[in-house]
Structure formats: C-alpha cells, structure tokens
Structure 1
C-alpha cells in the first residue's frame, strides 16, 4: 500500500514549497484582491448567461400544405359609421367571403372616441305591422309574411323580410342597390335615415379571420360588396357623390398567435386622410414561423413585413371601391426559433477558463512586479557602495 501511495505521490504535478521559503509582498496582496474581484464579476456574469435562455434561429423551406391562416385585427375608423363599413376577404384560389360577420364586432364611437354601442349584426328590422304578401294582398291570421326581393329571388319561394335580406339577395345577383327608399323593407326600417343619423360617428371593428394559406387580401370597404361582370364593386357607388374619409388607426394586426420576440410592424400605425375617398393599400409579406420554448411547447405563427401605398380617386376612369386593403403573400421560407439553456458542461468549462486564466495572468504580473522591484533594489544597493 505504501508503494502505491508513493507512486501516486511521484505523479503530483503540483509540488509544494515549504512555507519557510514563502515571501509575501504588498504588491502580491493587491494583485490577489484585484484578481479575486475580477473572478467574482466574471463568475456572476457567466452565471446570468447560464440562467437565461439562448435563442437559435434557422431558415428552412416551408413544405406545409392545406393549412389555414389566422388573422387577428383591431382597426378604428374615426370618420366612417359602422352602418356602411363591411369586411370582405378573397384569395387567388377564387374563394371569397363578402360582408363577413362571424367573429366580427363593431363599436360605434363618437367624435371623441367614446363607445356609443357595440354591434354584432347589421341594422335590425322593426316589427312588421299589417304585413303584405308579395302579390299585395293582406295576410290572413295564420299566414306567414313573405316580403318581395324585388326581382332578386332565386326561386318563387324566396322571401326577403328585411332590408338586409334584400341587400343580400341583390349582392348574390351582382346588383347594386341604387335607391334604398324604393325598397319597402328598407323604407320601413328607415335604412337611409339610420345611416344619416350616424353621420359624424366613427367605428372600431375587431375580430378574427380564418383564410386559406395562399395569397389573397382582406379589406374594409364602404357598403356591401358585390360582383358585376367580374368586377368588384359595392352598393355605395350609387352614392359616389358622397365624400368619405378613410383615415384609420391599426390598433392590432397579427397573422397568428403571439410568441415572445415577435414584432408586428403595423400595431399602433395611424394614417390621416387629407383628401376624400380613395384606396389605402398595405402589401404584406407573411413569413411562417415556428417558436419552441425551453419546455418544448411549440407555437405555429407568422411574422410579416409591409409596404404601403395610397391610390386616390381618378376622374374619368373606373373608380375602385373606397376603403383600406390588406394584400398578403406567403414566403416560401419558414423561420424556426428555438429557445434553450446553455449546457452545464459549457458553463463549467467557462468557469475553469475564467479562474485559471485570471490566476495565470495575475501570476505573470506579480512575477514581473516582484522581480522588477528586486532588480531595482539591487541596483540601488550597488549604487550606494560605488
């Protein structure tokens, strides 16, 4: 056993010096204190980096198919009443949704931004008194009212019992409602008067859309949109002498769920319209993004960049429907963002490098100082004797 311990003793790479040969100096003490402080500062800095997560970003080709795109929005129009503001969406596959109402909420606001009313549906129809059938005769006691669609019926059994149903039937036919006062249901409900009553008001519209994951657009138009000879129009073209201010503020616009670090460049953006009517267009490039946190939870979302353009009304040419348009396109590249902690072995390696490096440098500095002072002292002694 003594032979084994003797062999281990011979392997000692750190031979010890008898304390009688130690020489402690003031400079050595100062260097030791400075080195210890430096080691502590670097240790806590390295510990902070170890406790925090590091983010790794990669770019890969997006091979996903058949997915949908979730759009969350919150937009305020301070000068457009809710009664004439509608939301439409369409994409390059040919799918289109006009006057979307599902998961859409409107808030009537006054000129000071105060909420007057929260609205989820269109203008409601009052109770029908002394209703008439389409042929003009009075209803019997047990008969059901069936209002005329004024030529927009798809079949003889179709009924339009409210102004909104007439407008919808016209839209499906590709017709524009030129004069609502000529429609009995609209006249009875005071459709035009209600629009006039909301003059000077604004509208906040917020909600969400679920669209195909292909290029397309959604827009906030004035009036109910319809198609005529493959041209996108809206029924307010009949009132194109009216002037509309499409100033707006985008409180929120996101393509997908929130994840840490995401920046939505249109949040809080405000645009003030200096001339009446026109189209304000946002061209958006959507980049699919997958975020994975340190616990392995994955969030599939999107980031986007945007450019803007305003198109004013042009006299003598076809005028596109006034409103605010968001044209989006999908990037073929997907971004993967992964959060992770620094491995413990890396942390330990960095600590060893800090401690060993500082002690080595401190030892070199101390050696220079000690031998320098010793040489200087020797020269001074020689000078005295000479």
Structure 2
C-alpha cells in the first residue's frame, strides 16, 4: 500500500511539472538562434555589471518633522573680511527686540598679504565655482553630504597678526568706512569638514562709503546620518539685498553689514540609504529572466513574420522544386539478360 501511495504521489507531482523536458533529438539548433542567444547573454552580462554599481551606490533620504528642541543654543561660526581697519569695525548680536545678546567671542585680526592668504584666495575662487554649480545642479549637495570628512574644513584657519580692539563709538569720518567685504565662512551649529555653505566665498565690492548690505537667512535644523559621520548641524537659505543710504533721495537706514536670521520650526533628517542585498538579487533575477523571455519572444515573432513573407512570395524553403517526370514515349523496360543456357540452345 505504501508503494502504491508513493507511486500515485510521484505521478501527481510529475503532472504538476511546469518545466517539461524535451528530448535533445527533438531540438533543432539554427544560426539565427545562436546569434540571438549570443546577443542576449552579452546584454545580461552588461546589465548585471551596471546593476552591481547601482547596488554599491547610495542615496540621501530626506525626512521632515517638527523641531521639538527648545533648550539648545545656536552656535554661529563666521569668518568675514571687511575692507577697513580693525579699529573701525564693530560687531554685535541682537535679538528681535534689538537687545544686545553678546559681543564676546568675536576676534578682530588684520589681514596680511602673506603666501597663506594668497592660497586662501585661490581656495575662495574654487568655492565660488562650486557655489555656481550648486545653484544649477542641486544633486551636488548629496555628493557633498556623502564626501564629508574627506575634504578640508571650509572655515579658514586663524590669520597671523595681532588682534586689534574694535570700534566702540561711531565718531569717525564717514570717508573711513568701506563696507566691501568677503564672507569666507558662515555656518550654524557644529562645523562639519567638507560641507559648503551658501555664503561661503561670497564677495561684495562697493565704492560708496554709505552702503547697506543685508542678508536674510532662514536656518533649518538638520540631523545628518551617513556612513562616515553622524552630527547635528544646520542648513540655511539666504536672500541678499544691498542699497545706498541717501537720506536726500528717501533711502533711509544705517550703512553696514546686517545678517538677519530666523530659525525654522521644521527639522530635516538626512540619512544615507543603501540598497539591501535581497533587492539586488531580485533585480538581478528580473534582468536575466526578462532578457531571456524577451529575446525568445522577439526571435519567435521575427521567425513567424519571415515564414509568412517566404510563404507569400515563394521564397526560401517555400520555393517550388522542379520534379523530373518519366517520358511515356520511351520504353523503360529493360531487355532480359541472356543466360548461358539460352546461349547453348
């Protein structure tokens, strides 16, 4: 009974076989089929090779949520060069009520025309080129996120020279003022080497001694998680404005460089994503199976069309063959052979 049950089970399994085997004697190979197979195998190899590079690549995922951190302090990192002497320059940090928060932690250093400054100038020109490309190619920002800690810090090192006291009163001659400036570095939060901020390398030159430069900045808290670094930093967007102060023409205000920033209520989480191994294997199987099935259908369809054309115009294997028929006027009966007995008679 057990053997009978096993035979029935095996016969049932054989009937469910979705991959029936065809004897090799029933299979006919052709040159066109071999050519199509060669093309299919080449396409499989190339697509599998490129798919491996896609598997190794990563992409950045952006998630947005409400910023619930109200207790942390915002750190401001700034390095700016102004075309005036240090004793004519002063800097303060004010809140919305125009109350001074602090003026400590700001160092004033004279600019020296040394070789290191010339090297920094070349570096700033490179920053300007990158900034122009970032305005056109927004995907370059993801490349910068992936390459953090590979490049040099964007903030310039301390300059050589002695620090000077800032200006505490505005009793100097207006002709001594020149607010032409270059923002070497401006960032918020933790400094991350390799990240280029929107105002890094920005340069403004004016010949007017009574010019107002305004930068309206929106700071967005950002958490960066990549394979190389995990840090809490801040992105920001900026709108620039500049105008000449002329009270006679109705353009009122105070000349200087003003940076007004506001913190966004949204927080952005930027994380580096990688394709899982199972998804890579599924895509690889899809490539191989898809090419194999598609080339088989194309080969069968082309062969079907070829047979129709040949049958319609009597070409190739459908060309009529000439058949030689026997002539009825010719006696095809052969004369009987004479044997030795007939000769003797």
Q: Using structure 1 for the length normalisation, give the TM-score.
A: 0.62
Kindly state the Cα deviation for residue 286 of structure 1 after the two structures are TM-superposed: 1.0
* Residue segments in structure 2 that go unaligned for 5+ positions in a row: 121-158, 323-345
- Judge conservation of contact 1:81–1:108 (CA < 8 Å) in 2: no
2:240 is matched with which residue: 308, 320, 325? 308
**Counterparts of 2:102 and 2:192, CA distance in 1:** 31
Q: Aligned Cα RMSD in Å? A: 3.2
Kindly state the Cα deviation for residue 323 of structure 1 after the two structures are TM-superposed: 2.4
User: SS where residue 254 of structure 1 aligns?
Assistant: strand
**Counterparts of 1:24 and 1:260, CA distance in 2:** 62
1:272 aligns with 2:217: no
Cross-structure match for 2:167 = 223
- Deviation sequence 1:242-297 (CA, Å, 0-9, x none): 341111111221122356995522111111113113321111111111112247x5
Structure holding more helix per residue: 2
Distance verdict in 2 for CA 1:22–1:111, change over 3 Å: closer
**Counterparts of 1:107 and 1:8, CA distance in 2:** 89
- Judge conservation of contact 1:82–1:108 (CA < 8 Å) in 2: no
1:86 is matched with which residue: 72, 87, 90? 90
2:160 is matched with which residue: 100, 115, 118? 118
Kindly state the Cα deviation for residue 370 of structure 1 after the two structures are TM-superposed: 3.1
- 1:1-386 equivalences in 2 (<5 Å): 3=7, 7-77=12-82, 79-92=83-96, 96-97=100-101, 99-100=103-104, 102=105, 104=107, 106-110=109-113, 118-119=160-161, 121-122=163-164, 223-224=167-168, 235-236=169-170, 238-257=171-190, 263-294=196-227, 298-315=230-247, 322-378=255-311, 379-380=314-315, 381-385=317-321
The structure having more radius of gyration, on CA atoms, is 2
Q: Using structure 2 for the length normalisation, give the TM-score.
A: 0.68
**Counterparts of 1:104 and 1:374, CA distance in 2:** 87
Residues paired across the two proteins, number: 273
* Residue segments in structure 1 that go unaligned for 5+ positions in a row: 124-221, 225-234
**Counterparts of 2:252 and 2:176, CA distance in 1:** 13
Structure holding more strand per residue: 1
